[in-house]
Amino acid sequence: MAEKYVGKSIKRNEDRRLLTGNSTFIDDINLPGMLHVAIKRSDFAHAKINKIDVEKAKALPGVVAVYTADDLGDYWRPGPLQVPPPSVIKGAIFNARPLECIAKNKIRFSGEPVAVVVAEDRYIAEDALDLIDLDVEILPYVGDLEKTVAPDAPLIHEDLESNLAADVVQEVGSWEKAVAEADVVVKKRLLVNRVAGAALENRGIVVNWDANLNLLTVWATTQGPIPMRNSIAKYLGLLENQVRLINPAIGGGFGPKIMSSQIDDVVIPWIAMKLKRPIKWVEDRRENFLGTTSERDQLHYAEIALKKDGTILGVKDVFYHNTGAYNPYGMTVPLNTQAHTVSNYRVPNFLTEIKMVFTNQMVVTPVRGAGRPQGVFVMERLLDAAAEELGMDKAEIRRINLLQPEDFPLRSGIIGQDFVEGVLDSGNYPYALEQTLEKIEYEKFKKEIQPKARAEGKYKGIGIAMFTEGTAVGPYEGCKVMVGVTGKVSVVTAYSNQGQGHYTTFAQIAADNLGVKVTDVDVVTGDSGQWSWGVGAFASRGITLVGTAIHNASLKVREKALNLASKLLETPVDELEMEDSVVRVADIPEKFISLGDLAMRSNPTRGTVEPGMEPGLEAASYYGPPHGATGFGSLGMIVEVDPETGKINIERIVITDDCGQPVNPMVVDGQIHGGLQMGIGEAFYENLVYDDYGQLVTASFMDYLFPQATDMPDKFEIIHSQTKSPLNPLGIKGVGEAGAIAPPACMMQAFEDALGLKDMFITESSINPSKLYHYVQKAKGA
């Protein structure tokens, strides 16, 4: 039996191309006669448009065209609502206001597009932006999550009664009952800050309309190629197969590249058809900060009811969720927050309310974590506050409330972002907690290391937090697997890859089932011309959904190959084996036929075939789970803090993560590393800050602190736990967001523990040296 690939750390198939500069990213695509786009964006956060004067811009040599909303005529319309309203939740209110793409009468956030310049080169296009005159009447800016829904707040969408974008209440059990039975109720007001996806490559699109072929070819950095293909087809009146959407190599996604309802997605394809010239737009970093999307930014009023012994009776969480000026991505983020708030613990009574609000800020859509970190932050902070109140150890209060292995599968009663009731499919949370505590030497730290450090004048602290990661949600993904005439295997999907290693992990699954080398499997992602159906890269769903589809399709191909070989070799199937790219008779190794020859023979050019025969060693498969698979884990951190300067050092970080069966543990570790980096960044470095006029004052890497190598701990200590998901044959769960979820909760606890000040409780998910210093001063009563 040949060695299996699934479960093995192997080098990636895609590395050579990336390392030698031979990958094609969006800005690497240049077509003959191609024009370049620059987008004029509003400097105002909230304003009525009186006039946009583009005449001077149009007159600049090299400028081909300038478009405002008025120039779009009948084509002007809001972008698609990418995620439908949550009508499945009883009583849910959702006021859909998808992006306007290009502002028509009104500007609703600083950075909103107001005009598009098309020129012979990008330099000229950008020159022309400065020649556009924007005459506006400035309106009052609204940015505060609570004030925006006050009765006197200026309306962002005048046709609505208020700036309330959505209101969703979900309750399991009865919070009132929990309070009635409780010995203590602890309340906290908790803030979660806003962070950028900040992929190193910005967004971009290249469009080529071929009127003779009736084919619109679109290269785009989208994480959802098929939904984007479909919306472009609908907007432009084309059939799906008249739009070929191709993902080039993509330089990181992290959420914001899921957007397909912005100006580039909706307006630029229309311009390409109108001008009958290929056209390219690549976002610059400033635009990415101002005008793409970002996430977090919630304000929670949270309460926890407990018995004296620390047993949780209930949790109540009413929270404001800032969606920015529009809500094209529906309720995905706040529903994820609701679903992840109580997912680690036995919480018999849970009342949660989302108040999604419009503000004059950029739109909020998922960024790695996508609502999960907020839910986990709230729950973990509540437990820390409760432990203080009850005089309990932080690990102990978690230990006694954790869900137990026998509790699974567990119906949560909470409708999630996938619009189905959450079901925690499997898990062993106590194991995850104890593994981290043991590895980080929690008891020893508390009893020996911390007191010793303190005696030396050093402030060291430890934090421990639990998390779950809802992954692999539906509706579905699919693929086509084919053995080619060379004996090499093609796997084609319309999933989108931004560096997750799919060219290797997908290949590992197919290679195992077809008995070929992993390097002989060619994986195509995100090309609607090769595979037409799929949903997209979000919610850590690629390896589970596409991986399972590949598993199923390659088994079908295997069966086809064996049946054909059985006829040709005149041997029953059960006496055949398939490895080393051949099918051979198990006991007679010299009696074989290569996969390549079988592929050739599977497409006969003469003679007759039996009814029902399908040509080619090819099969397609779709996989859709009834609900997501839930990964989980625990995070421990030891930090040292200087109370005078607010400087910190992460001495150790230990994570136990369970993503079921890992396909390539090296790749899994890589995902966890990157997630932790983003989580640490969120907790101590990164912050999107608007001033009182709605200007984003952190719109560059000089102001937005991107976590660098020396900001990271020396080592991410990872412990793997493996609870296979019962939902799919390989037992896989996703892992893309795992690392990013718990760091803010864990770090704040560790900071407090380090400083040991009785009344110091950090109520924000993101702090910095200055804030830390102020917390210390406040706690000291200074």
Partner 1 sequence: MTQKVKVAITVNGTLYEREVEPRLLLSDFIRHDLGLKGTHVGCEHGLCGACTVLIDGQTARSCTLFTVMVDGSDIKTVESLGTMEEMHPIQEAFSEVHALQCGFCTPGFLMTTVEFLEGNPNPTAKEAREAIDGNFCRCTGYENIVEAVQLAAKKMAAH
Residue ranges in contact with partner 1 by CB under 8 A? 11-12, 14-25, 27-28, 30, 61, 123, 198-202, 249-252, 254, 284-285, 498-501, 666-667, 669-670, 673-674, 676-678, 700-702, 706, 708-710, 712, 714-716, 739
What minimum distance in Å lies between the beta carbon of 480 and partner 1?
A: 25
Side-chain half-sphere of 413: how many Cα atoms within 13 Å?
15
- Residue closer to partner 1, measured from CB, 124 or 776: 124
What minimum distance in Å lies between the beta carbon of 280 and partner 1?
A: 11
What minimum distance in Å lies between the beta carbon of 714 and partner 1?
A: 7
Residue with tokens 């907790």: 683
What minimum distance in Å lies between the beta carbon of 29 and partner 1?
A: 9
Side-chain half-sphere of 110: how many Cα atoms within 13 Å?
23
- Residue closer to partner 1, measured from CB, 258 or 339: 258
Cα gap 317→178, rounded to integer Å: 14
- Residue closer to partner 1, measured from CB, 199 or 546: 199
Lookup: tokens for 465: 């937090």
Per-residue CA distances from 314 to 331, 346, 374, 706 (Å):
24, 9, 18, 38
Identity (one letter) of the amino acid at 730? L
What minimum distance in Å lies between the beta carbon of 707 and partner 1?
A: 8
- Residue closer to partner 1, measured from CB, 19 or 455: 19
- Residue closer to partner 1, measured from CB, 581 or 677: 677
Cα gap 270→141, rounded to integer Å: 32
Helix, strand, or coil (residue 756) = coil
- Residue closer to partner 1, measured from CB, 23 or 566: 23
Sheet of 113-119, strand order: 63-68, 113-119, 35-41, 279-282, 204-210, 215-220, 243-246
What minimum distance in Å lies between the beta carbon of 676 and partner 1?
A: 6
Cα gap 435→717, rounded to integer Å: 11
Cα gap 644→640, rounded to integer Å: 12
What minimum distance in Å lies between the beta carbon of 100 and partner 1?
A: 27
- Residue closer to partner 1, measured from CB, 86 or 681: 681
- Residue closer to partner 1, measured from CB, 243 or 259: 259
Selection from 110, 175, 163 nearest residue 138 by Cα: 110
Cα gap 452→59, rounded to integer Å: 73
Q: Any idea of the CA torsion for 727, 728, 730, 734, to the nearest 10 degrees?
A: -70
Q: Name residues whose C-beta falls within 8 Å of residue 348's C-beta, 6 or more positions apart in sequence.
A: 172, 173, 178, 312, 313, 314
Selection from 26, 37, 491, 38 nearest residue 253 by Cα: 26
Give CA 502 to chain center in angstroms. Answer: 16
Cα gap 76→66, rounded to integer Å: 15
- Residue closer to partner 1, measured from CB, 448 or 706: 706
306 sits in the region (left: phi over 0; alpha: psi -120 to 50; else beta) called beta
What minimum distance in Å lies between the beta carbon of 251 and partner 1?
A: 3
Q: Any idea of the CA torsion for 245, 251, 252, 258, to the nearest 10 degrees?
A: -20
- Eight-state DSSP code of residue 781: T
Lookup: tokens for 594: 């290569």
- Residue closer to partner 1, measured from CB, 195 or 485: 195
What minimum distance in Å lies between the beta carbon of 368 and partner 1?
A: 9
Helix (H) or strand (E) holding 388: helix 372-390
Helix, strand, or coil (residue 273) = helix
- Residue closer to partner 1, measured from CB, 201 or 577: 201
- Residue closer to partner 1, measured from CB, 25 or 693: 25
What minimum distance in Å lies between the beta carbon of 13 and partner 1?
A: 10
- Angle between helices 372-390 and 332-341 in degrees, nearest 10: 30
- Angle between helices 372-390 and 743-755 in degrees, nearest 10: 30
- Residue closer to partner 1, measured from CB, 255 or 625: 255
Selection from 460, 375, 364 nearest residue 416 by Cα: 375
Q: CA 8, 14, 15: angle at the middle one, nearest 5?
A: 90
What minimum distance in Å lies between the beta carbon of 366 and partner 1?
A: 15
What minimum distance in Å lies between the beta carbon of 249 and partner 1?
A: 7
Cα gap 262→250, rounded to integer Å: 18
What minimum distance in Å lies between the beta carbon of 266 and partner 1?
A: 25
- Residue closer to partner 1, measured from CB, 416 or 713: 713
Lookup: tokens for 560: 């086809």
**How many residues are present in the chain?**
782
What minimum distance in Å lies between the beta carbon of 223 and partner 1?
A: 12
Cβ proximity of 660 and 548 under 8 Å: no
Cβ proximity of 159 and 152 under 8 Å: no
Cβ proximity of 363 and 322 under 8 Å: no
User: From start to end of 417-547, where are the E strands?
Assistant: 421-424, 459-471, 477-483, 489-493, 521-524
What minimum distance in Å lies between the beta carbon of 190 and partner 1?
A: 26
- Residue closer to partner 1, measured from CB, 470 or 501: 501
- Residue closer to partner 1, measured from CB, 117 or 553: 117
What minimum distance in Å lies between the beta carbon of 499 and partner 1?
A: 3
Cβ proximity of 656 and 634 under 8 Å: yes
Cβ proximity of 218 and 252 under 8 Å: no
What minimum distance in Å lies between the beta carbon of 191 and partner 1?
A: 24
- Residue closer to partner 1, measured from CB, 169 or 712: 712
- Residue closer to partner 1, measured from CB, 258 or 433: 258
Q: Name residues whose C-beta falls within 8 Å of residue 778's C-beta, 6 or more positions apart in sequence.
A: 759, 760
- Angle between helices 743-755 and 665-684 in degrees, nearest 10: 60
- Eight-state DSSP code of residue 546: I
What minimum distance in Å lies between the beta carbon of 696 and partner 1?
A: 15
